[in-house]
Amino acid sequence: MRKAYTVQEKLDVVKKVRDCASQASVSCQSGVPAGTIRGWIKNEEKLQSAAAECHDSKGPQTKRIRGADDTTLDKALFEWFTQSRHDGIPLSGEILKVQAQKMSRQINGDDHTFKASDGWLWRFQRRHRIKSITVSGESKSADVESAAAYPSILRDIIDAEGLQDEQIYNADETGLYYRMLPDKTLAEKNDPRRKTGFKKAKQRVTVLLACNKTGHHKLKPLVIGTAKNPRALHHVNRSTLPVVYQSSKNAWMTAYIFKDWFHPRRTTLPETTKTQRKSNPAFG
């Protein structure tokens, strides 16, 4: 049965031959055919390069060596990747593929047929020991006990009010940090700076989604920002948007915003809004 040897095992055999041992004796001691040893000696430079490119202790244990088809592109892309990660820039597989296509055209011309496929990306990451990691993050512990007790409380409310499934709604509010960089990136396995990044941008909007229990009534999503008239909505008919836009000082939910969103025709306007309407001829 044919045995697969690791890079380190091949180099150890070659070293024995280089230390003035005969190929025949090394073959007898190691059980490796003499013809195979001659092939390893011939490819010693490639074996040394493969061992040098390994980024952790498991690298020399690799049994199969497959280099890049375009070594110039591979080296240039890895240098760009290393510099980008040194600058703390989060990188994804898609970004790597786009950059590889761009560099390929710069190096080989626009007529080059290189394609950065998923298979190419997998081999590039494996060759350079690149893993997907979380740069940083915060976690909050949930109130598990209250969450476990609430279903029975909700059931009592539903029974007491005699509510039907169509009258029961579930709403979920979340913050959308639209300027925040991803917290996932590709990084070398032994890079000491792999989990460092930039300060997170905190600009956010609040989004509220709701639907009734049967799924027949889905309310238009509510988006709450800090600007009453954001530039992106200038000269835009907001009634045609797929969301309802409202604003508050901190982009937080308020009782008035919620009521105006859920019952837009039955909500009593605040005094300031009433005054504005009376003083504005456009409202009659």
pTM over 0.75: no
Q: What's the pLDDT score for residue 57?
A: 43
Q: What's the pLDDT score for residue 198?
A: 65
Q: What's the pLDDT score for residue 95?
A: 92
Q: What's the pLDDT score for residue 229?
A: 92
C-alpha closest to that of 82 among 189, 198, 199, 201 = 189
Q: What's the pLDDT score for residue 282?
A: 41
Per-residue confidence in pLDDT tens, the chain, 284 aa:
567 777 778 888 888 888 877 878 888 888 888 888 888 788 777 777 666 655 444 555 555 555 667 889 999 999 999 998 888 788 889 999 999 999 999 998 888 888 999 999 998 988 888 888 766 544 444 567 888 888 999 999 999 989 998 889 999 999 998 887 777 777 777 777 666 666 677 788 999 999 999 999 999 999 999 999 999 899 999 989 999 999 999 999 999 999 999 887 544 444 444 444 444 444 34
Query: Degrees (nearest 5) of the Cα angle 242, 247, 248?
Result: 150
- Gap between the Cα atoms of 31 and 27, Å rounded: 5
Q: What's the pLDDT score for residue 222?
A: 96
- Gap between the Cα atoms of 266 and 247, Å rounded: 20
- Gap between the Cα atoms of 216 and 107, Å rounded: 56
- Gap between the Cα atoms of 233 and 81, Å rounded: 38
Q: What's the pLDDT score for residue 265?
A: 59
- Amino acid (one-letter) located at 149: A
Query: Degrees (nearest 5) of the Cα angle 278, 281, 284?
Result: 70
Report yes or no: 211 and 102 within 8 Å, Cβ to Cβ: no
Q: What's the pLDDT score for residue 201?
A: 73
Q: What's the pLDDT score for residue 223?
A: 96
Q: What's the pLDDT score for residue 61?
A: 55
Q: E-assigned strands of the chain?
A: 130-134, 169-176, 184-188, 205-212, 222-225, 244-247
Q: What's the pLDDT score for residue 275?
A: 45
- Gap between the Cα atoms of 182 and 138, Å rounded: 13
